[in-house]
């Protein structure tokens, strides 16, 4: 998120909440945008929908399926998965292209 802000984007983050389950047990539950994205970033005429994970919560296919429903070539959809071994993120970026869907 900080990196996007430094690049001039206005960024909003999905809300996370702590839910009590049992006596001394708490769960950190996310409420993603559209059930899929953690961040939405806006800059000029660019829109980024970003899913950041260290697990396998969402797949490339889910991201592509959602993007293809929106059908907007000006939106970039990003799946960033944290790789613990490399201590870095692997990114998959996707933009809808109507020429691929005829």
19: CATH: 3.40.1350
Model confidence at 10: pLDDT above 90: yes
Residue 37 neighbours by CB under 8 Å, 6+ apart: 14, 49, 50, 51, 77
| Average pLDDT of every residue of the chain | 82
Query: How many domains does the chain fold into?
Result: 1
Query: Where in the sequence is the domain holding 88, given as residue range(s)?
Result: 2-101
Q: Give the global pTM.
A: 0.69
């Amino acid at each position: 998120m900080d990196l996007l802000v430094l690049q001039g984007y206005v960024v909003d983050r999905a809300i996370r909440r702590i839910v009590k389950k049992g006596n001394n047990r708490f769960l950190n539950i996310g409420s993603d945008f559209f059930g899929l994205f953690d961040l939405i970033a806006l800059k000029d005429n660019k829109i980024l929908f970003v899913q950041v994970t260290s697990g396998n919560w969402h797949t490339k296919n889910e991201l592509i399926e959602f993007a293809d429903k929106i059908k907007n070539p000006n939106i970039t959809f990003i799946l960033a998965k944290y790789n613990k071994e490399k201590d870095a993120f692997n990114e998959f970026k996707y933009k809808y292209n109507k020429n691929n869907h005829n």
